[in-house]
Structure 1
Amino acid sequence: MKMFLGAALLGVAAWLGFARRAEAAVDGVTLPPSDPTEASPALVASGPSAYAAIARQALGEMGNPFDLPLIMGLMQTESSFNPRAVSSAGAMGLMQVMPFVAVDRGYDPNAMFDPEQNIRCGIAHLVWTRNYLMPLGKGDLSSVLSAYNGGVGNVSRGWFNAGYVSKVIAYRDNWAGRVA
């Protein structure tokens, strides 16, 4: 609760312009300046193509559990390819990873603004989510995407975010002809 409130206050402060270039910490996780141009300029300049290369490599190392267009669609939905994105709930980076998820997946929550670490952690979490839901009979892509967005507990209880899933799938379809 403390982390959620801290992140929410930080989000409101950033929205109001009070935290535009200031660093803040939420439960020990240092949040960087909110200006996306302050993130590794070379990586930001190359944008989605650099992120696709990172995701392609990570997917290959993990046995290609999902296709690259899906990961690109997920990134576009979650952060619009802003590596410094912070949600009002405290999710961070390209794939909007929560700090506790980073820890649970074995990643440093302070590294979630590093595109490579964030993408790898996000993919690992997507794999974990699918593996968690499969024995419950909810391992289909729509349920997995809903759980990535709203949590496995909510999906286990029947919650489904059709709008979110539709958006990710539409972006995935758009990326399908552009990345392999």
Structure 2
Amino acid sequence: SPARLVFADSREGERWLAAMSSRLARFIPDEGERRRLLVNIQYESSRAGLNTQVILGLIEVESAFRQYAISGVGARGLMQVMPFWKNYIGNPSHNLFDIRTNLRYGCTILRHYNNIEKGNIVRSLARFNGSLGSNKYPNAVLGAWRNRWQWG
């Protein structure tokens, strides 16, 4: 089924989408592309029970919203998912550059770490980044969230 905004009130969803789209413009000039991406991010993060605004901060830090980003160690896409995850939570044929697939994986992985860390988002983010014991990465994500993506 296609991704859709998950809000109790559809007008609130539209307000959110308009506000986030204007904030995302510096990264993605095309409005249609921004809206489609935001709907997918909001849908997948809500589905995983994660704070959408924190996920926006994470994607800003990980890939600057570049769908085809590849890190020096081979992490892929918006949320910089390592290909080995396909063997654990998916299928080797999955394309991590596909927006919906990348978000589904990234949100599933962060949710897994958030469960392990009993909701401690700082430790969950550090695990996501493979840097448990350092707060550099969590601080960058939470800084992006506070500076650009806070809502409500």
Percent of paired sites with the same residue: 27
Q: Does 1:150 align with 2:123?
A: no
> What is the distance in 2 between the residues matched to 1:104 and 1:114?
18
Greater C-alpha Rg? 1
Q: CA deviation at 1:105?
A: 1.9
Equivalent residue, structure 2, for 1:141: 121
Spell out the pairing of 1:100-179 with structure 2 (5 A cutoff): 100-108=84-92, 110-134=94-118, 139-150=119-130, 155=132, 159-160=133-134, 162-173=135-146, 174-177=148-151
Letter in 2 for 1:130: N
Answer yes or no: is the 8 Å Cα contact 1:70–1:172 preserved in 2: yes
Which secondary structure does the structure 1 equivalent of 2:117 belong to?
helix
Structure 1 segments, 4+ long, off by >6 Å, are none
**TM-score with structure 1 setting the length:** 0.61
Report the count of equivalent residues. Answer: 123
> What is the distance in 2 between the residues matched to 1:140 and 1:59?
17
Gap change, CA 1:109 and 1:165, over 3 Å in 2:
farther
Q: Does 1:96 align with 2:80?
A: yes
Q: What does the per-residue CA deviation read over 1:32-68, in whole Å, with 9 as the maximum and x for residues that have no partner?
A: xxxxxxxxxxx98445433221021123333xx2111
Spell out the pairing of 1:6-155 with structure 2 (5 A cutoff): 45=30, 46-62=32-48, 65-108=49-92, 110-134=94-118, 139-150=119-130, 155=132
> What is the distance in 2 between the residues matched to 1:44 and 1:120?
24
CA RMSD of aligned residues (A): 2.3
Instruction: Specify every segment of 5 or more residues in structure 1 that has no aligned partner in the other structure, as ranges.
Output: 1-42
